[in-house]
Amino acid sequence: MRNIFHAGLLLVLAAPIGCFPSSSTSDTSASSTSGSDDATPRETVGKTTQNVLDLEQALSEGAVPASTKIESKNPLMINAEAYRTSVGKIGGMGVEHAIQLRNAQSIQDPKPLTHEVFMAEIIKKGQPDGIRLPMLPYYQEYTWDQKNQKLVVVDFPARIEEREKQR
């Protein structure tokens, strides 16, 4: 019981350190779905991305929908799972709001967004008024589900396997 208390105390004291963005807030937008570079962990706290893949293409390349459950029994891993899940949900909420604004401003009946239109009108990659999504861990990516018109987070199990081989 005492060890759990000390681990929790350490986490509470160490957590604020990771809450402040580093001096370089680079946008790590470029990301492919295969290769050993994808298995390299990337900084997530304070980092953003505008990289959103097409869901159908990502699924064909081995992606699986990411779990939104927090199932870990390890107190340190619970925080990591909660952060990862929250980041994906918050990114989805921001995109949903932008789509609602777009649809409200449309004079005509708004049509469903293809991946290309979604990137141009909602994410606005490379534009100052574009949406910058919170960075996900190296084995996850944002994808656009054209059928359901939603932002979806997917896992790439092959990246996790490749990372385990590198260790």
Asked whether residue 65 is domain-assigned, the answer is yes
Burial of 107 (0-12, 13-18, 19+ CB in 10 A): exposed
Q: Which helix (H) or strand (E) holds 154?
A: strand 150-155
Asked whether residue 162 is domain-assigned, the answer is yes
- Nearest CA to 58 out of 30, 33, 95, 39 is that of 33
Asked whether residue 14 is domain-assigned, the answer is no
Asked whether residue 111 is domain-assigned, the answer is yes
Contact between residue 66 and residue 92 where contact means Cβ atoms under 8 Å apart: no
| 49 bridge partner residues | 133
Asked whether residue 107 is domain-assigned, the answer is yes
Burial of 51 (0-12, 13-18, 19+ CB in 10 A): buried
Number of structural domains found in the chain: 1
In terms of residue numbers, what domain contains 156?
41-166
pLDDT in tens, the chain (167 residues): 444 544 444 444 344 333 333 333 444 444 444 445 566 777 777 889 999 999 999 999 999 998 888 888 888 888 888 888 888 888 899 999 999 988 888 766 678 899 999 999 999 999 999 999 999 988 999 999 999 999 999 999 988 888 888 77
Asked whether residue 9 is domain-assigned, the answer is no
Asked whether residue 60 is domain-assigned, the answer is yes
Distance, in Å, from the CA atom of 159 to the CA atom of 137, rounded to the nearest integer, reads 11
Residues contacting residue 100 through CB under 8 Å, at least 6 positions apart: none
pTM, full prediction: 0.72
Asked whether residue 143 is domain-assigned, the answer is yes
